[in-house]
Amino acid sequence: MTEREIKKGIKELSPIDVYMLLPRTNCKECGEANCMAFAAKVVNREISVEQCPPILEKEHEEAYGKLREMLAPAVKEIIIGTGNHAAKVGGKLVMYRHEFTYHNPTPIAIEVTDEMPEDELLDKARKAEGFSYNYIGREVNLDMVAIRSTSNDPTTFKSAVEKVAKATELPLILCSFSPNVMEAGLVAIKDRNPLIYAATKNNWRDMAELALMYNCPLTVFAPNNLKLLKSLAKTMIEYGVEDLVLDPGTFADEGLSDTINNFTMVRRNACRKGDKLLSFPIIGTPITAWIGEEAPKDMLAWKEAYVASMLMSRYADILIMHSLDGWVQLPTVIWRFNIYTDPRKPVAVESGLRIFGEPDENSPLLLTTNYALTYFTVESDIKSAKLNCYLLVVDTEGISVESAVAGRYLTAEKTADAIKESEIEQKVKHRHLIIPGMAARLSGEIEDLSGWRVLVGPRDSSGIPKFLSEKWPPKEE
Amino acid sequence: MNEKKEEKKASIKISPKLLELVRKFQEVELEDVDIEIGDLEIWLPPAVAVPPPPEVVAPPPPKVKPTTIVEEDFIPPIEEYPGSVLEVKLGATKGEGGSRRKTFMIGGATSPAFYMFERPPPHPPVVTLDVFDMKVSLPKAIRMHVQDVMEDTAAWAKLAVDKFGAEMVTVHLVSTDPLIKDTSPADASKTIEEVLQAVDVPLIVGGCGDPKKDVAVFKKVSEVAQGERVVLSSLTLDMAEAGLLDDVAKVAKNDGHIALAFTALDLNQAKELNRRLYEFLPKDRILMDLTTAALGYGLEYSFTIHERARIAALMGDQELQHPVLSGTTNSWAAREAWLKMGPEWEPRELRGPIWETVTALVLLLAGVDLFMMMHPAAVRTMKEVVKQLMSAGKARPEKIAEWVTVKI
């Protein structure tokens, strides 16, 4: 690619660009109908170019090289950890979410120290691994454990690292600025491919040697000094270390402006200026909210929580956090889930009749819309209460109940049609439809058009189990 | 009884300071907060954007390992944009034809939000607090603070300004809803007059959501608040459809007010509504509300649409060059903000306000200029963070240089 194109920044890549470099034999070995279809999927990042077996053969070596270059992300993808739990970090294709999609959701590493009593240490590591929340039908988790050496003693660190490594399979980050301490930790988990944190202007040579010797990714840390950060990255690369993670420093209160700006500048240089020295994942450390402040614990956790979400919105590819409290992590993991969704994907689920548990002819019929968030919320409430019921999902073009009623996407006509199409009338003996509280105003019309009696249910689906226990079966009138 | 134990445990953990803000909120019920996800339109780029050239970072094995740091220069990546966001003045002083002692200029951005290295925003974002013209069902977290004033709108507004740090006040005239109390436009404007006398900050006047009634109310309010540069929240395409938009826009212009143009997560609609308003209103009298969905309930759509709108404005799309408002209060529509969820997710007293805080801060970074908020702790954090973001150059590297070994 030419210098001119680098300056131009983002360029449009079309399937043709990829197609021209493929073997173009339409062999179908990739499972696609032809090379053009394959190329379209490659461009959409739905499939990797390596899934074309012929391109990997010797004769296509040059074309394959060009394709890899053409498709390489703006931010290098780094692997931390091994096996099932290995985390891909970075690999970002774009600066703004709407330009394509953000890849590789920001792993959240929970911090422990080598001076924690053994039971606390293991407890926190296990809790980090066990953290789980069911959000619209998907499980969200925490991802890594970061072990800090506050003792600065190699033996103490080694012992803590060994214990944590035994207690959890999560990828690990080893945190110490002392090369001796770091090496003690690396020796303990040679085969776990941890992230080394960190090389600084003082210890970079030894840390580079360790990264090479143990073949691990390496963080470079230069708080609020992007010139130094870049120089260190350059030095590491010349030293032969290829997988870097950048830490421009996280200042959680005074200096928050510089933090956000440093992260933004690093990412813009990578995405827009083709700056190869800054084209690495960025690590944010909301844990620094806990440093140097005399404040009550919950105030610090509060700060850590909102700084984490701010940094994720501004390009952090990994986070190290101190608090494991549910109220701190819940907004963090949900926001992460949200911004890493594909902005091109529809937010609607399929409409039609859903069956939960083992309903019979007397079981209730509930109604909701096909907006994904609405649907999954209702579904999870029904499932967790183990209800036996039918749920009629009306096609509101992916719009939530209240808006759909206001915008006439959910109407009595649509409801009556949906009832008919679902053939629910052959499944139940009763004729009682439970509609969301937010759709109350449609009651009369639905009754007129469908011939079903309407019961107005709760405004929030968390009230469904209680509603059914009180109001179902309906009283004879 | 189990729950009581947890509450107790929780209150031991919470600091007095924060607890003061959130204390006693054991239950949050929220029935009046709307989450509006309208047509979600997803833009498919004609082709895929790819980053600049794939840099293969690994050089050939070095012949000589460096012995000193290889110095590199860092140049801040400054860009130029053909467009900028308009400045809109909220409220008017006596000299300007109103009676406000405080007024705010918002907007004016010439770079994405808080790109201090490029061009700092000329005006910090502003926070307005919600008050209602009747006793409404509120999250308990809020209710605790406003209990005594819920039937006195003017006193409520005063409390918001004096005690909770409201820079502006939004008066929601919910009682005008034909399905609620159907309060007359004359009575509604009397409420606004009282609030104008009780506080000296700029006002936002919120309708009930019924296009016809809102137009009638706004016309009357506009008259009694003549010259005050209040924000009418909101003018919509529904009003246009009902043939009522021209009417209310004209009145707003003549009386010197600001129109808040509301659309549901759809930039094409936002542009269309603005075009209609241009026929009657000067451009610097229009704000946009692009819809705020709660964290966990579509916030990413709000985030992305705000980023897109701001970049489009900077790139020269004149129909999107208006400051934007977020109804951040919608964050309480997320059940995670108020639902009892089991001990590992407690205390709710913190989970609720952090939900509003995160919703606000994420949108702050996407470029929102004016925030409608509710919870005192969230408001306080918001104002603090804005102050921090506005002051670049305060980082002290030594503060975090040794964070790895610091005992927490």
Domains of chain A, residue spans: 3-71, 77-339, 352-471
Q: How far is B351 from chain A (nearest CA, A)?
A: 5
What's the mean pLDDT in A428-438? 95
In sequence order, what are the beta bridge partners of A218?
A: A196, A244
pLDDT at B32 over 60: no
Burial level of A259, CB count in 10 A (0-12/13-18/19+)? Answer: buried
What's the mean pLDDT in B107-122? 98
What's the mean pLDDT in A7-35? 81
Query: What is the CATH number that goes with domain B89-391?
Result: 3.20.20.20
Where is average pLDDT lowest: A246-250, B11-15, B251-255? B11-15
Cβ pairs bridging A and B (under 8 Å):
355
Query: How far is it, in rounded angstroms, from Cα A183 to Cα A93?
Result: 34
What's the mean pLDDT in A217-244? 98
Q: Which pLDDT belongs to residue B223?
A: 97
3-state secondary structure at position A305: helix
- The pLDDT mean for chain A works out to 92
**How does DSSP classify residue A126?**
H
Interface TM-score (ipTM) > 0.90: no
User: For chain B, which residues make up each domain, given as ranges?
Assistant: 89-391
| Closest Cα in chain B to A3 | B53
Domain boundaries A3-71, CATH class: mainly alpha
Q: How far is A430 from chain B (nearest CA, A)?
A: 31
Joined together, the tokens standing for residue A235 give 């030095």
Cβ neighbours of A464 in B, within 8 Å:
none
Which is more confidently placed, B3 or A391? A391
pLDDT at B24 over 50: no
Cβ neighbours of B61 in A, within 8 Å:
240
Query: Hey, which of A35-44, B197-206, B288-297 has the most confident mean pLDDT?
Result: B197-206
From A205, A211, A195, select the one nearest A285 (Cα to Cα): A195
Q: How far is A357 from chain B (nearest CA, A)?
A: 23
Neighbours of B294 (CB within 10 A): 25
Q: Element (H or E) spanning A17, and its range? A: helix A15-19
pLDDT at A345 over 80: no
User: What percentage of chain B exceeds 70 in pLDDT?
Assistant: 85
Query: What is the CATH number that goes with domain A77-339?
Result: 3.20.20.20
Residue entry with tokens 């129109």: B259
Where is average pLDDT lowest: A70-74, A245-249, B252-256, B395-399? A70-74
What's the mean pLDDT in B314-332? 97
The reply to whether residue B49 touches residue A93, judged by beta carbons under 8 angstroms, is yes
Question: Domain A352-471, CATH 3.40.50.11600 — does that match?
Answer: yes
What values do phi and psi take at B286, rounded to 5? -125, 130
pLDDT at B1 over 60: no
- The tally of CA atoms less than 13 A away on the side-chain side of residue A150 is 12
What's the mean pLDDT in B216-235? 97
3-state secondary structure at position A311: helix
- Where do runs of H (alpha helix) occur along A135-249? 154-167, 179-188, 204-214, 226-239
Query: How far is it, in rounded angstroms, from Cα A390 to Cα A425?
Result: 12
From B127, B164, B161, B126, select the one nearest B144 (Cα to Cα): B164
The reply to whether residue B53 touches residue A259, judged by beta carbons under 8 angstroms, is no
